[in-house]
Structures are given as structure tokens and as C-alpha cells.
Structure 1
Amino acid sequence: MRIFSETRPDINMAHKTRRFRIENLPRVTPETRWRTEAMRSYAQPLLLWFTRGQGRITVAGVTHGFGPHHAVFLPANTMHGYEMTGQVFGTAVYLPPDRSLNLPEEPLHLRFRDVQQQAELSNMIENIQNELKSDRPGKDRAMLAHAGLLSVWLDREVDGGDRQDLHPDAARRLAAAYSAMVERDFKHGQTINYFAAQLGVTPTHLTRCCKIASGRSASALLADRIHFEARRLLTETRRPVKEIADELGFNSAAYFTRAFQKQTGVTPTTFRKLS
């Protein structure tokens, strides 16, 4: 794969490769559990490689169990969250939103029983990580090349591997469609009635399908997504509470404070001080 011209470097290359990031899955405490369990998304593709432990992961409104040697690929802006049973070990690989990589356009959940498959994926992640840590010439090109190989490998495993069907029935397909709408519109102050009408179903039917797919109601998924964003903004910025409330579609700071306290048990100001 030729990523850019040998004689004229791509002016966007540095920006794209800065989006590479590899982290160990976090050690969760009661105070930080929301960072993994609450519904959220990222503006870039993400590969989760679980190597030890087990739990449940919700991807686009549909919940499945995961265990050792499960890989979950999430395209950019895919709403998700996962709950861990005990300590889980693994790696989160954040990839650049570069169309030339031809990464999958739909979420994937793959299980690898074969030791060689497990080693191949771990080695590809390690290759990217080694380049990230290095200062060798051609580092940016090398990372994109390794990411391209990872994309090809995922395509091959989808064709012949042990893949979980994330949307095996109408209920889960509806939950996935709802999840995509929530991710797009959760800051606009819309109600469940609005989302149900857009999907051509009743609010009762939408909630029933969400409970089948994820064990949670439609309103719980929406609230979870909104309040993850609220907690993120409170911990990662110094923006006033009123400004955060406005961005998230609340009519007033007082209404936001009541809703936040109901969801988290503390006020936004207290949460910020404790974080």
C-alpha cells in the first residue's frame, strides 16, 4: 500500500499519525468506573484487545459477553461501554480516522481460539507501539503501514474467523439504529418520544427492544450517554456548569444539576472537586 508520495510528503501525515495511541486497559476503581461502563464514543476508530478476564460489553446498543482473546473493533463515533468482572487485562488501540486504511465500517466482535491468531494480533499491536515509542526516520509511514496490515488482517479474520453477530434479530437492529441516533443527537435535548417517532415505532416498543438488546431501557441508555459527556467535561475542562448544561441541551443549570445528581449521586460541582 502506498500511503503518500516518496518525493512529496503528505502535509496531513503528522496530524494523522498523532491520532495513534495505545494504552493498557485501565484498572477500574469505584470512583472511575464510569470511564469504562458509561456509554461513550470516540472520534477515531478503536480496537479493544482483551487478553485476560471477562465481562460484558455494549456496542451500539447491543450487549455481549467477552473473555480472554476477544477483540472488539469500533468504528469512529460508535457508542459503547463495558463492565468488567474482576480485573481485566488488555489493550486499547486508537487508530487515525484515515480512509486509506480501509478499516471496517461496522463494529466487530471476534474471538480467537487459535494461539497463532492471538500471537499475530498481539505482534501487530506491538509493532505499532514500538514505532510510537521510537524516533526513527520514517516513523509516521511505518505506523500507517502497520495499521494498514492490521486492517487487512481484520478483513481476513472476519471472512474466516469466529465472529459474533451483533444484530441477529429485529430487536437488536432497532436498538443499534437508536444507538446511532443517540450518538448523533444526544446534545440536542431530545426525548425518547422524538427518537421513537424518528424510528417509526412507539416509545414502549423502543424501550422493550433496548431491554432485549442491552438489559437497559431506551431512556437509561440516553441518560448514560449524556452524563458520561457531562462527567468528561467536568473533569477535563474548567468550563462553567451553566455552559456545560447549555451544550448538553438542558434548559437551565438548575435542571442539569438535578438530573446529574439523580444519575451520579452528587452535584456537578461536587463531582468536579472529587475528580
Structure 2
Amino acid sequence: MNIPKPIPVFTLFGEQGSFPDVVHCERIHARAGLTDWVISPHRHDQMAQIFQIESGAASVQIDGTTLTLSAHEFLYIPDKIVHGFDFTRGTEGLVLSFPLPVLTSLAPRTPALTQLLSTPSMGQVPKPMAQLLVQLATCFDTSGTFRTQRLVALSHAILTEVAEISAKSTTLSAGHQTLEQFNMLLQRHLNDGWRPSDFASALSITTGHLSRICRQTTGKSVSAYIETTVMTEASRLLAFTRLSVAEVGYRLGYNDPPYFSRRFRKVCGMTPSAYRARFLTQTSAAD
């Protein structure tokens, strides 16, 4: 019996270590040129990306949908979406990678903005966005006391440009609509201990249907997807609040702190205390 290989999950393509900077910027040829201009299907659990084509083109696979990305166009890929590329040899442009804390710190947050940045989109690169992309690439290659703050500010400006363009014309898979609604419910009920059947009932679909959508679009079972989302919120609380580890667990519906710590370690690869210490160390180094 042939067992399907799991979809790789990377920090950056081909890398599984910690994220290297507050954001990441590189040229397409620097990555795709090393793999004969083909990037096999993969996904990122806690990172979104923007691909901007300056010249050349790419055939793009997104959750089973094939698209063509041409010169002067961009493609936005939120976290957890399976994607792969077959670039025309010599294609040039930028790849921007944004860890989730950069997206979640974009404020003021609205349901519409959350929905738009949870959905893949593509379109022409307007002049204001092109200028912002150049500024971010230039800032990324420089140093300075407030480099981190400038990179985050430019990232937010670019992401809002993406949201504005997406609001005018959503280009990808109607199948993501249910997942978007599921994600919005997840955010509203993170603390309520909802089970897959609760979410399916709220969406007026069967648990099996929700499970199939989740597996097809994220590569995870619905239970694993829910737990990953909860632990992503736990990561934010550990990184950006002074709540104790036990308080973080209580807030997210875990009444047994040791069990919360075990589940966090299972999902995130380290204990909550180690994650907080590592995040604080990386933030101090970045500043």
C-alpha cells in the first residue's frame, strides 16, 4: 500500500529552524535558482508570504488550484495554505515573509481585515505598493537603531495594500469561504473549548464535511487545526503579555496547567516557559 507523504511544513522554504529576522526579504532567484526554479508544494504554519514578480512568470499550485503569476503581479499566501511554484527560468522579483506576530499586531483589527488576510489573493502591483516593496527591501539590507520598527511599519503598510486589493477582487478558491468562516468562529471561541462538532453545527455542515475541508486546505485534521490555532494564540499571550503559563492555559480553556504545557510542547516543540524565554531573547537581539 502506498502511504502519501506528508506535506512539508517550513519556516522559510527548506528550513525548519526559528525565524531569522523580524521579517524576511529575498530575491526569487536566490531561492528558486537553487532548486532548478521549482519549489515543491509545502506550507508554513505561522508565516504569511508575498511573492512579487518583476520579470518572468510562474505556474503556481495553491491547494490543488493552478494559477499563472505574471510580471508586475503579486501573490499573497496566508499561513497554512499549501503552495508550490514552477518558475520560468530567470524569473526575478521579491519574496517577503511575515511571521504571524507581525500580522496580528496590525491594528486596529477588524473582522474584514482578518478575513482578507486569511485568504490567498493575487493581482496587479499598484504603484504605491511597488514603492513600499522597494522601501522594505532597502530597509531589510540596512542597519539602524530602529530598523525593526521600520520593517514592521512597512510590512503593515504592504499588508493593508494587499487587503485593499483583495477587498475589490477576491481571486482564489470558493472552497476557502467555509474555512474563512471557520477561522472567524475559532477566533471568537478560542476560550470556550468548542469541539469539531460545535463548529460544524455553527457552520450548518456535518463534522465530516468540515473535516474534509480542513484536511484538503490545511493538510491537518480538524482537531489538530483547532489545537494549532489555540496554541498559536497561546504563543502570542506568552510573547506579548505577562500572564503566567498557568493563566495562559486557563484563558484558553485548559484547567490543568501540566496538561496545557504538554500539549503546547507537542504542538510547538518546546515548553511554554522555554518559548517565552526564547522569544524574549530573540526580541532583545533584534533590538
TM-score normalised over the length of structure 1:
0.54
Aligned-pair identity in percent equals: 20
Consecutive unaligned residues in structure 2, runs of 5 or more: 1-10, 23-42, 86-93, 139-153, 280-287
Q: Which residue of 2 aligns with 1:256?
A: 260
Which residue of structure 2 aligns with residue 224 of structure 1? 228
Counterparts of 1:89 and 1:178 in 2: how far apart (Å)? 28
Following TM superposition, by how much is the alpha carbon of 1:82 offset from its aligned partner in structure 2, in angstroms?
A: 5.8
Please point out which of 154, 158, 165 is paired with 2:165. 154
The answer on 1:266 being equivalent to 2:270 is: yes
What does 1:34-45 correspond to in 2, within 5 Å? 37-38=44-45
| Preserved CA contact (<8 Å) 1:38 1:225 | no
Look up the match of 1:197.
201
Change (3 A) 1:237 1:261: same
Question: What's the counterpart of residue 243 of structure 2?
Answer: 239
User: In angstroms, what is the RMSD of aligned CA positions?
Assistant: 4.9
3-state SS of paired residue (1:216): coil
Offset of residue 50 of structure 1: 2.3
Larger deviation, residues 174-183 vs 47-56: 47-56
Task: Give the distance between the partners of 1:156 and 1:195, measured in 2 at CA.
Answer: 26
Per-residue deviation at 1:259?
Answer: 1.2
In structure 2, the residue matched to 1:50 is: 51
Pick the aligned partner of 2:172 from 148, 165, 172. 165
Spell out the pairing of 1:12-91 with structure 2 (5 A cutoff).
Answer: 30-32=16-18, 37-38=44-45, 49-51=50-52, 69-72=73-76, 80-81=79-80, 89-90=95-96
Query: For this pair of structures, how many residues does the alignment match?
Result: 206
Return the alpha-carbon distance in structure 2 between the equivalents of residues 32 and 55 of structure 1. Answer: 26
Q: Hey, what's the Cα distance between the residues in 1 that align with 2:195 and 2:254?
A: 12
Report which structure shows greater RCO (CA 8 Å, sep ≥6).
Answer: 1
- Per-residue deviation, residues 1-36 of structure 1 (Å, max 9, x unmatched): xxxxxxxxxxxxxxxxxxxxxxxxx97863435999
Separation in 2, partners of 1:71, 1:164? 10
C-alpha displacement of 1:192: 1.1
Larger radius of gyration: 1
Shift of 1:225: 0.9
Structure 1's unaligned 5+ residue stretches are 1-25, 41-46, 75-79, 131-142
Counterpart-to-counterpart distance in 2, 1:250 and 1:150: 38
Which digits, 9 at most, give the CA deviation of each residue in 1:103-139, with x for residues without a partner?
A: 8974560144xxxx46553126668999xxxxxxxxx
**What is the CA–CA distance in structure 2 between the aligned matches of 1:154 and 1:222, rounded to whole Å?**
29
**Is residue 50–residue 89 contact of structure 1 (8 Å, CA) maintained in 2?**
yes
Aligned to 2:210, what secondary structure does the other structure show? helix
Give TM-score scaled by structure 2 length. Answer: 0.52
Which secondary structure does the structure 2 equivalent of 1:51 belong to?
A: strand
Residue number in structure 1 paired with 2:122: 110
Summarize deviations over 1:232-268 as a string: whole Å, max 9, x none: 2223344211011011111221221121122133322
